[in-house]
Amino acid sequence: MDKKKVAVLFGGKSTEYDISLASAFAILQQFPQDYEAVCIGISREGNWYHYLGPLTGIEKDTWLSIGPCRQVVLSPSPAHKGFIEFVDGQCVFMDIDIVFPVLHGKNGEDGSVQGLLQLAELPYVGCDMNASVIGMDKVLAHTLAKDAGVAVPHAVTIYRGDCIEKAIAAEIFDYPLYVKPAKSGSSIGITKVYCQEDLLNAVKKAFLYDDKVLIEENIIGFEVGCAVLGNLQPTVGQIDEIEIGDIFFGYAEKYQTHEATIHLPARIDDKTKAKIKETSLLLYKVFGCRGLTRVDLFLQPDGTIVFNEVNTLPGFTDCSRYPRMLMAEHMTFGDIIRELLLLAIE
């Protein structure tokens, strides 16, 4: 039997380009041998290429400069499922069975690529366009979670073109608080603000990344995560807990400094674990997720669960939170990849 061809998309026109490369490198290193991986790199400018070089080129971000690469475009026609590749001035069709979009942030995790793949009727790993759009937009996600009966942080939304000073003055906040771009991942553009004098600059910084900004209360308690895997009958991994003290679990802390401690499993009782898993599965269903999602929640001292966000394409290195939570339930990294491919076909 011929191996199914899987186009692994990496890179992307996103501030999370580097994270995508790290995730794709980890996945390709442990790719199931009974599938054929086809590396499709997307440059920072948004151009698509068939990368034919070694995996180290992805790891070191030399894949485009050293190559070899061939420019490709995705066929939007369901009659031709795959890519059109440009070889020596000729157009060559490359058929594909499944797409694994290992893309984070805008232009990859926000529904744009998912919509393109749905148009082409290509099976792909992860949530569909609708769930991706909702998961990426914190305002939409909080609205939907609240409607489902899950507590959400108090927040104010400011849109580009609003009078920022007037919008800030309209609400009374207790400090510290968080200022966030509505559509951004890996905590990029987020600022923890400790006094009113710093609030305006934090809002201006967030507007560099999006046209919609949240000013959000600081939740007393700690963050927990739940890895969900599956389609109609999803399962969950071990719950983890982020112990951060007074630091902000931002981009540098997630990928560079590592001063925070992640406890796996979380230091909570079985009753609370069951409640967190129940809430995560509810949100997974309400948001219309499939394949995989990491649900991030806050747990307050009185036991109240507060929604934070959902990550429809979480980080996927071998030390990332999502695979580690599933690996704690006796799955290997390779098992997770194989299951995601099967779920895409399903």
Domain boundaries, the chain: 4-124, 134-150+219-345, 155-217
Q: Give the model's pLDDT for residue 185.
A: 63
Domain covering 134-150+219-345 in this structure, CATH number: 3.30.470.20
Please tell me the distance from the alpha carbon of residue 309 to that of residue 74, in angstroms, as a whole number: 31
With cut-offs at 50, 70 and 90, classify the pLDDT of residue 251.
very low
**Beta carbons of 298 and 306 less than 8 angstroms apart:** yes
Question: Maximum Cα–Cα distance for the chain, whole Å?
Answer: 66
- Does residue 301 carry a pLDDT above 70? yes
Please tell me the distance from the alpha carbon of residue 193 to that of residue 255, in angstroms, as a whole number: 21
pTM, rounded to two decimals: 0.90
With cut-offs at 50, 70 and 90, classify the pLDDT of residue 257.
very low
Q: Give the model's pLDDT for residue 305.
A: 98
pLDDT (mean) for 122-130: 97
The more confident residue out of 270 and 168 is 270
Q: Give the model's pLDDT for residue 290.
A: 97
- Fold (topology level) of 155-217: Dna Ligase; domain 1 (3.30.1490)
A 10 A CB-CB count for 69 gives 20
Q: Which CATH number fits domain 4-124: 3.40.50.10420, 1.10.287.1080, 3.40.50.150, 3.40.50.20?
A: 3.40.50.20
Bridge partners for 226 per DSSP: 295
With cut-offs at 50, 70 and 90, classify the pLDDT of residue 295.
very high
Query: Residue 136's closest CA among 15, 263, 268, 282?
Result: 15
